[in-house]
Amino acid sequence: MNGAHDLGGRRDMGPLEYEKHEPVFHAPWEARIYALTRAMRAWGKWNLDADRHALERLPPADYLRMSYYERWFHRLARQVVEHGLVSKEEFDSGMAAPGSTKATPAMTLATFPHWLSRGIPSSEDPNVRPRFKVRQRVRARNVNPSGHTRLPRYARGKTGVIVRDHGVYLFPDSNAHAQGEKRQHVYSVRFAATELWGDDASRRDSVHLDLWDDYLERV
Amino acid sequence: MERARVPSDLTLRVKSLESLLVEKGLVDPAALDALIDTMEHKVGPRNGARVVARAWMDPAYKQRLLENAPAAIAELGYTSGQGEQTLVVENSAKVHNLVVCTLCSCYPWPVLGLPPVWYKSAPYRSRAVIDPRGILREFGTQLPEDVEVRVWDSTAELRYLVLPERPVGTETMNEEQLASLITRDAMVGVAKVTWPSSRGNA
C-alpha cells in the first residue's frame, strides 16, 4: 500500500530528536501495550504481517501524529474487535458482556518462554527454487498493490545486483491477508545510491534491500 | 445502563483494555510482566557490546560471527525472537554500514533490545536512505568522501548488527573494558566507537 508508513526518501520530516539515556519504555502504559500486543498475537488470529499492515491502515495524518506506542494501542483495539475476540460494546465499556465465557490465555507465564523464542518462519527448503542468482542484475518491479507489501516505493523500477540469497520466507503481500504463505526466496539486493536518487548522490554509496522473488524481474 | 465513556488518556485506555482482556481470560498478567521484564532487563545493547568486544578480541569468533551470526551470538547465551536471521556487517577504514527500517521499526532485539524513539521516527526512517551522510553528521559522525556508505534497509525478516571498528589505543584493554566503550549507536551505524570515548550515547 502506498501509505504514510513508506517513508524512505522523504526529506520533509524534520530534524532528528535524540534522547540521551533513553529508557526502554517512557511510561508504564507503553510497556503494557507492548506486552498486550505480543500476548494477543499468540492467539494466532492474525500474523505478524497482518499486524504490520494494521498499522499501515491507520489514517495517514494519525499515523504521522501519533507516538509509536499510541499507534500500537489503536492497532490492538482494531485487531481484537475485527477478529471477534472482543465485541465493540465490550471495548467501549471496558467490561465483558454478561454471561460471556472466560477463555484460557494463549500465552501464560508457563508458555511465555516458548513464545519468546519463536522466530520468524524461514527455511532452506530445496523444493522452493530461487528465480535469481547471486551477482545477477535485477529490477524491482513497478507494482502498487492496495494491500500490504514490503517493497518500498523508492526502489520500484530501480535496477540493482543480487549480493546474497537469504533462503525461503513467507510472502508478506499474501500472508498479511490470509491469502497463503507463497514461500519464496529473499535476496539482498544492492542498489547504487545514484540509481535510486540521481547524480547528486555519492557514487560510492549504496542501499541494500532484502527483496522477495515476486518483487523482482530480469533486466 | 449508561455506557461508560472511553477515557481519552492513554494510561486509562490501555488499563481499560488490559482489564477487559484479563476479565475475558485472553491474557495472563503474569506473562505480560515477564515479557516486559525481558525487554527491560534481559535484552539490550549490553548484549551486543559483549558480542562486538568478543569479536575484537578473538579473530576466530569474529569469523564465526560474520559467517553465522545467530550461532555466534547464541554462544554468548543471547537468544530470543527477532534475531534468528541476524546478519553482522563489518565497518572498516573504507566501508561504513548504517541500519534502518524505512517501513516500520525492525531491529535486532536479542543483541540491541527494543529500538530507541529516533530509530522508529519519521526523520530517521525517511532520510537514512537518501541522505545517510547527513544523518551521520547529525550524530556527529564525519566520514571522509572516500569511505563507502552502505545502508541496510531491513524491511524483510533479516536483522542487521554493525560490527564497528576497534579504536586505536585500546590494544591493552580486556573484553570487559572494550564492551564498556561500545555504544548502541555504533552498532546501528550512526556513530563510531571512540577512545578516549565521548560517552553518553547509551
Both B91 and B174 in one domain: the answer is yes
ipTM: 0.96
B122: cell is: 519519521
Residues in chain B, overall count: 202
Q: How far apart are CA A135 and CA A190, in angstroms?
A: 10
B106: enclosing H helix or E strand:
none
Cβ separation A204–B135 shorter than 8 A? no
Instruction: Check residue B84 and give its pLDDT.
Output: 66
Both B36 and B58 in one domain: the answer is no
Cβ separation A207–B129 shorter than 8 A? yes
Print the domain residue range for B130: 43-188
Whole-number mean pLDDT of chain B?
92
The CATH number of the structural domain formed by A28-117 is: 1.10.472.20
Q: Which residues pair with A167 in a beta bridge?
A: A186
Both B81 and B31 in one domain: the answer is no
Residue B29 lies in a domain: yes
Instruction: Check residue A121 and give its pLDDT.
Output: 73
Q: pLDDT tens-digit profile of A172-198? A: 999 999 999 999 999 999 999 999 999
Cβ separation A103–B26 shorter than 8 A? yes
Q: Is residue B201's pLDDT more than 70?
A: no
Helix pair angle (A28-41, A68-82), 10° resolution: 40
> Into how many domains does chain B fold?
2
Both B35 and B90 in one domain: the answer is no
Residues whose CB falls within 8 Å of the CB of residue A116, separated by 6 or more in sequence, listed in order:
B35, B38, B80, B81
What CATH fold (topology level) applies to the domain A122-218?
SH3 type barrels. (2.30.30)
Contact B48, B184 (CB under 8 A): yes
Q: Which of residues 81-110 of A touch B (CB under 8 A)?
A: 85-86, 89-96, 100, 102-109
Q: Which pLDDT band holds residue B80 (cuts at 50, 70, 90)?
A: low
The ranges assigned to domains in chain A are 28-117, 122-218
Both B14 and B59 in one domain: the answer is no
Residue B77 lies in a domain: yes
Q: In this complex, is the C-beta atom of B116 within 8 Å of any C-beta atom belonging to chain A? A: yes
Among residues B81, B63, B80, the alpha carbon closest in space to that of B72 is found at B63
Residue B160 lies in a domain: yes
Q: How far apart are CA B171 and CA B17, in angstroms?
A: 54
Cβ separation A19–B149 shorter than 8 A? no
What does each C-alpha distance from A28 to A33, A134, A160, A178 come to in angstroms?
Answer: 9, 47, 44, 33
Choice among B16, B19, B92, B104 that is catalytic: B104
Both B24 and B59 in one domain: the answer is no
Both B112 and B130 in one domain: the answer is yes
Q: Is residue B3's pLDDT more than 50?
A: no
Q: How far apart are CA B64 and CA B174, in angstroms?
A: 20
Both B30 and B81 in one domain: the answer is no
Instruction: Check residue A158 and give its pLDDT.
Output: 98
Residues whose CB falls within 8 Å of the CB of residue A69, separated by 6 or more in sequence, listed in order:
A25, A29, A30, A33, A34
Q: pLDDT tens-digit profile of A3-62? A: 999 999 999 999 999 999 999 999 999 999 999 999 999 999 999 999 999 999 999 999
Among residues B52, B43, B39, the alpha carbon closest in space to that of B97 is found at B52
Average pLDDT over residues B138-145: 95
Q: Is residue B6's pLDDT more than 60?
A: no
Both B68 and B156 in one domain: the answer is yes
Strands A216-218 and A137-140, bridge-based pairing = antiparallel
Strands A206-212 and B148-153, bridge-based pairing = parallel
Q: pLDDT tens-digit profile of B107-130? A: 999 999 999 999 999 999 999 999
Q: pLDDT tens-digit profile of A97-130? A: 998 889 999 999 999 888 887 777 777 788 999 9
Query: In 10 A of CB A32, how many CB atoms?
Result: 24
Q: Examine the residue annotation and report whether B101 is marked as an active-site residue of this protein.
A: yes
**Using CA of residue B138, residue B91, residue B161, residue A189, what is the dihedral sign?**
positive
Question: For A107, which of B13, B28, B103 is closest by C-beta distance?
Answer: B28
Q: How far apart are CA A178 and CA B132, in angstroms?
A: 36
Both B30 and B118 in one domain: the answer is no
Q: Which pLDDT band holds residue B5 (cuts at 50, 70, 90)?
A: very low
Average pLDDT over residues B38-43: 94
Q: How far apart are CA A86 and CA B117, in angstroms?
A: 30
Among residues A215, A218, A119, A210, the alpha carbon closest in space to that of A165 is found at A210
Q: Is residue A217's pLDDT more than 50?
A: yes
- B115: CATH: 3.90.330.10
Residue B165 lies in a domain: yes
> Can you give the pTM of this predicted structure?
0.95
Both B47 and B14 in one domain: the answer is no
Q: In this complex, is the C-beta atom of A66 within 8 Å of any C-beta atom belonging to chain B? A: no
Instruction: Check residue B196 and give its pLDDT.
Output: 86
Contact B132, B95 (CB under 8 A): no
Both B60 and B137 in one domain: the answer is yes
